[in-house]
Amino acid sequence: MKKSIFLTVALLVAMSAAYAQRFAYVDTKYILEKLPEYKTAQDKLDEQAATWQKEIDQKNEALKKMYTKYQAEEFLLTADLKKQREEEIVKAEEELQTLQKNRFGYNGDLFKKRQELVQPIQDKVFDAVQKLAQARSYDFIFDKASGSTGMLYTNPQYDVSEEVLKKLGM
């Protein structure tokens, strides 16, 4: 009797191990920092960002000079000239803000340049992770660099999205 209970428990443990999901994690930040092409891309991005920042700084300096000159001459100007100068200053401020937004804002030039230079490298890393996951039969691979939510690979057999949609009446 003891022997059959032991065999049953051993069989259950073996079966549950066979159905166990396999997990792994990677640190994409560490991986990317080890890739020479990533360092090259990052250097190009930094160089471009510095160039754009210099352009913005020059326009900001010109705007400051324009405002200082206006303040010095304000009492000597007619009402029409005051209004004209104020409009020029406001226009220059708006142009500077637009330039800053276009260069460094969401979906700005820096974002696009990063996509152009870094995305292909990240895609190579992602492909390597997928190949490793499939070769070693991992069900899930998490990314340590992206915190607790960075899932880089999942075995499609564990995707229950369609079932959730059915539950929602879709």
pLDDT for the residue 7: 45
Other beta carbons within 10 angstroms of residue 41's beta carbon come to 20
pLDDT for the residue 168: 61
Please give the structure tokens belonging to residue 126: 């992602």
pLDDT for the residue 156: 72
Dihedral pair phi/psi, residue 35, rounded to 5°:
-90, 120
- Quick check: 11 pLDDT over 80? no
Higher pLDDT, 108 or 29: 108
Longest dimension (CA), the chain: 110
pLDDT for the residue 125: 86
Mean pLDDT, residues 148-153: 62
102 touches 108 (CB < 8 A) = yes
pLDDT for the residue 159: 61
The domains of the chain are located at: 19-167
pLDDT for the residue 67: 95
Helix or strand holding residue 106 (H, E): none
* Arithmetic mean of pLDDT over the chain: 82
Mean pLDDT, residues 39-54: 96
Helix or strand holding residue 23 (H, E): strand 23-26
pLDDT for the residue 106: 92
90 touches 97 (CB < 8 A) = no
pLDDT for the residue 109: 96
CA distance 69 to 128: 59
Mean pLDDT, residues 14-40: 77
Mean pLDDT, residues 83-101: 96
Mean pLDDT, residues 143-149: 70
CA distance 139 to 141: 7
152 touches 141 (CB < 8 A) = yes
pTM, two decimal places: 0.67
Q: DSSP characters for 112-160?
A: HHHHHHHHHHHHHHHHHHHHHHHHTT-SEEEEGGGGGG-EEEE-GGG--
Other beta carbons within 10 angstroms of residue 122's beta carbon come to 14
- Among 38-52, 92-106, 156-170, the range scoring the smallest mean pLDDT is 156-170
pLDDT for the residue 98: 97
